[in-house]
Chains A and B, each alone.
Chain A
């Protein structure tokens, strides 16, 4: 692997790891805020217990999101200095605004919430968790404004070889953001919703006290409604994103569909084995005309294919990158299967939420053992859908780092060596691996027993454990 591959691998893996924790933070903060609001309104102590139980899991996850997020603020400059120079005038602004508007809010109010249970008036304490929820959502808005500019650059002019902002209003009202932001945020809500659903189902299956039965059947229902509402939104905005994509990033759509040649009407592939060297498909099972319909709302529309688009771009950018440059994303198979995983798991979650709501309506939800046995396993579904969604978005944009303006290899820091990247990649992998294990251990521990209100006990005082005297251990 060369420096470019290592740098891409590092950015992709650290960002995907970070994104395990982000959507759960966004979804759970809102859910905890909702549950705590029920407590403040009704005065019912069970809701307080629920808020504390889910709040504890939220905090364990939140810590991981915070620390893996520190890397994100710096790694554009570390690995991608030429990219940073090229886009800084536009891209830096939303990042700085995110810190000012969202990070300060989240970090300050989370402290007030954790330590404020007995110190703050009830309503002020409730306000703190709402501010955390608001902060996490605002944070995602600004980072998606930055990302949208990489997908669909607007409000700029190229001056002296770098992009300069000419219209801040256009940057923050990028048409891409109106599809991407609701899509990403509602996917985060599903992540929180299914987290409640899965853990509650697990707890309902185990022998438990009356209070736990009440807590977890309430949580299960909250999670189900929340997920169902969000999943409808995700599907709708995902559909709109696809229609926008054919206009602005047709290569990404073609890659996601494994559509090598233009088709009118285009069929929707649901299983394909392709040959990326010959750039053609070997086995392809399609539903005729469906892709045209989904893309254009009619059964005739022409959907451009990978090979035609490549020739088109080769002509368009011949002056800049030469006539033979390639514009086909590497690893089409990953784009294709990511898309299928995202959509497939999304649909599966919609189905599960519907079935759950149906059983609830029939009054049999908490007695359907086979259903409760399935639900704990579904906790991974939103995480896979989130990760594959981003893989589609970012791999499908390749070979561009900024669509149509800068190719990924142009953005790399010129001073970095394979040794530099090797050290950091190994370091991040090791540390993230250890943290993942510790995080999973704690989540498991607090999710499967107790009701969250239990105080953390100090170690017995009889053990003097002076750090200096502990070598006997």
Chain B
């Protein structure tokens, strides 16, 4: 089977979402853990500064995924974002508050000011971590889409048990992922609390993920044309997550972080692999499914975009990687805290 441009762009968008979930996943996790692992202002600043140089760059993976969907699959972009209107509105508000919180929080020493932005950071991390899972749960489960590619449900259509469980999967997985990231970036008493938190949380995460896989078998068409990509994704996700748990017990937190990272990659492979070649199945009948063919741009546009992506994606990886290298050291109270 030769791979066409539509397939390449489907894969590329999966890669962009993987980047987003992997990177922003841990900084969402850090934001959620903030009130639990940091007990005074200085500790909170240390925790926030661990992701200080990175959160903005991490978020661009989402913006790029959005732009790439628009460019490569305009009908997917149009149906998804108009259909999930209010849910997306909540995500946007959360991400807006979160973004300014980083910059504003420590620029005033009024305790109420700081506490307010800490809450914005917590809620702004919690809601998107949950709601992106809900959104993807709905995408793979299928939503009502009619013959004009228009979403015919409403906000409450999206609040079904399966998709909510999907939200719990991303939420808990990101918390674990964020905790493991923190374990490499902090020291002392904060580190002790982080270790305690990840040790407590990894078993529930495994339980939730397994439950989600089982529920997917009942509730979705993900297993109907089970492919090798999906199989690899599923095995990777489960094995990596169990390995992460084992590593946590061995106190090897850095290795465990790689484990949750691989789990995220595996989950995206499993979900996108199960969708392929659809991008948004319709619950009103498979003839209304949006696919990588009926939702796509022209071959010419896909060609242009492929050339652009081939040049710029490697460059992005290079300088973002360099930025992580520059800030690889642990953040302590001796560090120069900017946020």
List residues of A whose CB falls within 8 A of some B CB.
Answer: 59-60, 62-64, 66-68, 70-71, 73-79, 81-82, 84-85, 87-93, 95-101, 103-105, 107-112, 114-120, 159, 164-166, 168, 413-416, 420, 423-424, 427-428, 431, 435, 438-439, 441-442, 445-446, 456-459, 461, 463-467, 470, 473
B214 at interface (Cβ–Cβ under 8 A)? no
* A119 contacts B82, C-beta separation under 8 Å: no
B63 at interface (Cβ–Cβ under 8 A)? yes
What is the distance, in angstroms, from B117's C-beta to the closest C-beta of chain A?
Answer: 9
Classify the interface of chain A: helix, strand, loop or mixed: helix
6 additional contacts, CB 8 Å, given A84-B78, A93-B308, A97-B71?
Answer: A63-B103, A67-B95, A78-B82, A415-B82, A459-B109, A466-B39
List residues of B whose CB falls within 8 A of some A CB.
Answer: 35, 39-42, 45, 49, 52-54, 56-57, 59-60, 63-64, 66-75, 77-83, 85-86, 88-89, 92-93, 95-97, 99-100, 102-104, 106-109, 111-112, 114-115, 118, 148-152, 297-298, 300-301, 304-305, 308-309, 312-313, 316, 319-320, 323, 326-327, 336-338
* B103 contacts A60, C-beta separation under 8 Å: yes
* A64 contacts B52, C-beta separation under 8 Å: no
* B88 contacts A78, C-beta separation under 8 Å: yes
**Given contact pairs A89-B301, A96-B67, A456-B106, A74 touches B92 in the complex (Cβ within 8 A):** yes
**Residue in contact with A435 in the complex, picked from B78, B88, B100, CB distance below 8 Å:** B100
Nearest chain-B residue to A86 (Cβ)?
Answer: B74
Chain B residues near A74 (CB-CB < 8 A): 66, 81, 88, 92
Chain B residues near A441 (CB-CB < 8 A): 108
* B305 contacts A96, C-beta separation under 8 Å: yes
**Given contact pairs A70-B92, A95-B71, A415 touches B83 in the complex (Cβ within 8 A):** yes
* A108 contacts B85, C-beta separation under 8 Å: no
Chain A residues near B67 (CB-CB < 8 A): 73, 92, 95-100
Chain A residues near B316 (CB-CB < 8 A): 100, 104, 108
**Residue in contact with B59 in the complex, picked from A89, A107, A109, A428, CB distance below 8 Å:** A107
**Residue among B52, B96, B150, B297 having the largest count of chain A Cβ atoms under 10 Å:** B96
What is the distance, in angstroms, from B332's C-beta to the closest C-beta of chain A?
Answer: 13
A358→B89 CA distance, assembly (Å): 51
What is the distance, in angstroms, from B163's C-beta to the closest C-beta of chain A?
Answer: 18
**Residue in contact with B85 in the complex, picked from A64, A168, A416, CB distance below 8 Å:** A416
* A414 contacts B150, C-beta separation under 8 Å: yes
**Given contact pairs A70-B96, A88-B77, A112 touches B107 in the complex (Cβ within 8 A):** no
**Residue among B74, B111, B114, B313 having the largest count of chain A Cβ atoms under 10 Å:** B74
What is the distance, in angstroms, from B69's C-beta to the closest C-beta of chain A?
Answer: 8
Chain B residues near A81 (CB-CB < 8 A): 78-79, 81-82, 150
A-B contact pairs, 16 of them (CB 8 A): A78-B85, A88-B77, A92-B77, A95-B71, A97-B71, A99-B67, A108-B323, A115-B49, A115-B53, A118-B336, A120-B326, A431-B93, A458-B42, A459-B114, A461-B42, A467-B115
Chain B residues near A68 (CB-CB < 8 A): 96
Chain A residues near B309 (CB-CB < 8 A): 100
Nearest chain-A residue to B316 (Cβ)?
Answer: A104
A203→B103 CA distance, assembly (Å): 24
A439→B115 CA distance, assembly (Å): 17
* A416 contacts B109, C-beta separation under 8 Å: no
What 6 A-B pairs have minimum CB-CB distances, sorted nearest first?
A: A88-B74, A77-B81, A92-B71, A111-B53, A92-B70, A96-B67
What is the distance, in angstroms, from B333's C-beta to the closest C-beta of chain A?
Answer: 8
A128→B100 CA distance, assembly (Å): 21
Chain A residues near B305 (CB-CB < 8 A): 93, 96-97
A463→B112 CA distance, assembly (Å): 13
A96→B77 CA distance, assembly (Å): 12
A418→B111 CA distance, assembly (Å): 40
Chain B residues near A63 (CB-CB < 8 A): 99-100, 102-104
Nearest chain-B residue to A468 (Cβ)?
Answer: B35
Nearest chain-A residue to B117 (Cβ)?
Answer: A438
**Residue in contact with A104 in the complex, picked from B49, B54, B57, B298, CB distance below 8 Å:** B57
* B68 contacts A71, C-beta separation under 8 Å: no
A81→B83 CA distance, assembly (Å): 9
Chain A residues near B92 (CB-CB < 8 A): 70-71, 74
A134→B337 CA distance, assembly (Å): 27
* A77 contacts B78, C-beta separation under 8 Å: yes
* A415 contacts B152, C-beta separation under 8 Å: yes
